[in-house]
Amino acid sequence: MLSKKDVISKVYNHISDEQSNNLKKDEIYKFPTARPSSFKYSFKPPQTHNMVISLFDPRLKKSFLECFIVLIIFSNFYFAYILVNNYGRELTRNFFLIQYIIWRLSYNFGIGSILYFQSKNEFLTIFAKKRHLFKSDNTSYLSRFSKFEINSKMPKDYIIENYHHEVYIGF
């Protein structure tokens, strides 16, 4: 029988199917773990935050893309101010209503497509594998940018190369 310390260490670190079969189910489910469909290891998912909190809480680290999103949000306020002063409230309201509808439909279709194709075909995993995005010796712009974005949201002791490629595709 494994001690509680052994269970915690196996669950919070990578454990193989063979090792996890030796653990009792109730011991494994006491701790948060994840296992993608084609992935033979369990892993501890990193802590994530609500997107609004992540964007506007000054205590949390920001990634480049989050800073860009905040810039777009504030530019919309500025653009609305310009439109109201030059063309009136009616046009401004209609413009932003149409913009929101288009954005929302695009977002729902886009995120739905990504989730569907990733779960069925693992296309993001295949894309990352083919381009060796998360290998330590890859210095391409896309690889450096992807690692930067992921590391900007992770704790200081997080080392991306210590995880299997299926783990960080979803971040």
Write down the pLDDT at residue 28. 46
End of a domain among 82, 98, 119? 119
Backbone dihedral angles phi then psi of residue 16, each to the nearest 5 degrees: -85, 170
Give the end of a domain, one of 43, 62, 77: 43
Report pLDDT digits (tens) over 120-153.
888 888 898 899 888 888 899 999 999 888 888 8
- The verdict on 57 and 99 lying in the same domain is yes
Please indicate, yes or no, whether residues 71 and 29 belong to a single structural domain of this protein. Answer: no
Query: What CA–CA distance (Å, rounded) separates 154 from 8?
Result: 21
Contact 59, 36 (CB under 8 A): no
- Same domain? For 126 and 164 the reply is yes
Which tokens belong to 148? 């930067």
How far out from the chain centre does Cα 153 lie?
Answer: 9
One-character DSSP codes across 28-56 = HTTS--B--TT--EEBPPPP---HHHHHH
The torsion defined by the Cα of 154, 155, 157 and 159, in degrees rounded to 10, comes to 0
Same-domain pairing of 157 and 127? yes
Exposure b/e, 146-171, CB count within 10 A at least 16 = b: bbeebbebeeeeeebeebebbbbbee
In this prediction, residue 82 has a pLDDT band, given cuts at 50, 70 and 90, of: very high
| Whether this model's pTM surpasses 0.85 | no
Quick one: 126 and 115 in the same domain?
no
- Model pLDDT, residue 29: 46
Counting residues of the chain whose pLDDT is more than 70, the rounded percentage is 67
- Whole-number pLDDT of residue 161: 74
Is 109 in the same domain as 132?
Answer: no
Do residues 56 and 114 both lie within one domain? yes
The range of the structural domain enclosing residue 27 comes to 1-43
Instruction: Give the per-residue pLDDT at 56.
Output: 85
Same domain, residue pair 63 and 115: yes
How many structural domains is the chain composed of? 3
Does residue 36 sit in the same domain as residue 69?
no
Q: Are residues 33 and 74 in the same domain?
A: no
pLDDT digits (tens, 9 = 90+) for 157-169: 777 777 665 555 5
Where would I find the H helices in 3-132? 4-12, 17-21, 25-28, 51-56, 64-87, 89-121, 123-131
Query: Which pLDDT value is given to residue 6?
Result: 53
What whole-number distance in Å separates Cα of residue 6 and Cα of residue 33?
Answer: 15
The answer to whether residue 19 scores a pLDDT higher than 60 is no
Same domain flag for 67 and 104 = yes
Burial (CB count <10 Å: 0-12, 13-18, 19+), residue 100: exposed
- Do residues 117 and 104 make contact, with C-beta atoms less than 8 angstroms apart? no
In the prediction, which pLDDT does 103 show? 94
Domain termination site, one of 119, 136, 155: 119
Residues 23 and 59 in one domain: no
